[in-house]
Chain A
């Protein structure tokens, strides 16, 4: 089932086209890798689909309807940076999500927190960047959304934490939803990706099933990435 569709999507900042003529489709039951180096347009594309940016041109359909504020009920977006208020403890953030997202699953959140060794009494300002990333993933994956957009969830994360984060993401993926992970750490993600979307200077240059791409180019996704962005 098609959950999100972008049609000739463009986003310009001044004279720079951060996203250029992007037409992609996200289907349920798949984990997508949105791949590209820094500045390639991954975050802009994600923020467009999350409804945070307004397109300069083109359209975005979410669940076969034009994107609106209501679409945010179906999309769980995890930004790459910490986005909590300084006064908050983890329990305050949990309350915030319960207040605003009907699909937030408190029990799943508790379970994810336990797996990630986080306590609800912890203050946001006292969390390390790794702990903060784990919290962001736990909050996002605790929602029963149709589309999960995870922007660089592995940035600055140590090896042990990476496993916990990847496990939470894979655990949340199902036949009912689509998961999009943006990253340049392809080696960590290669085995979990169903489809890969390579983005370069705002344009999608490869958009294929990961297995088919390996067969077609006779390369691993890591090697293909190196070739595309060399």
Chain B
């Protein structure tokens, strides 16, 4: 049976790993290499690192740090942030990533997803969608341009059609709040797709992860809970297992 994954999802900023709160203020988690090493030793299922300097400031993707992180990871590594071209994907994979997460470029140019998935395979292409609520409607959110007039479900279905392999779905409102995942958002999107959905933003308790999976998430991503609470990835898995959710458990 396929296991539900528990995935740390952290941001890379100024050569440090950080965690955001509602995409705004940042708390430092630690040095990228040592953090990756700890995750590896704890047998986490996967790791996602998003380079927000590259995405916000149009900086070159920091392949040097990606190489350092990848060298510590004997588990799958997804890298995102600032991916604008096929060449960028080559670079990031060459540095040791297994998958890339694409956000801004995908919103602007859906054909890019088609090209990327036909070259690298769908399994390599994660499309990241950030969502914010406005007047009780879910809207796609861009770190640069704010709220966009795009329905996240429509966007997710388009990404699926164009060959995305997974959707990383982040609730901006819940990010870093520890109030739990946005289950309504999950129900709105998760079950409509035939590709896996990783929900992100808001995990504060192991029970939040249980609820997310019961509401249609294939995998849960989190950062705050791993770094600023007493819970470890294994404690979350224990809770999932207690609720009859299959996990990889060493």
The answer to whether A and B assemble together is no
> B: which residues have CB within 8 A of A?
none
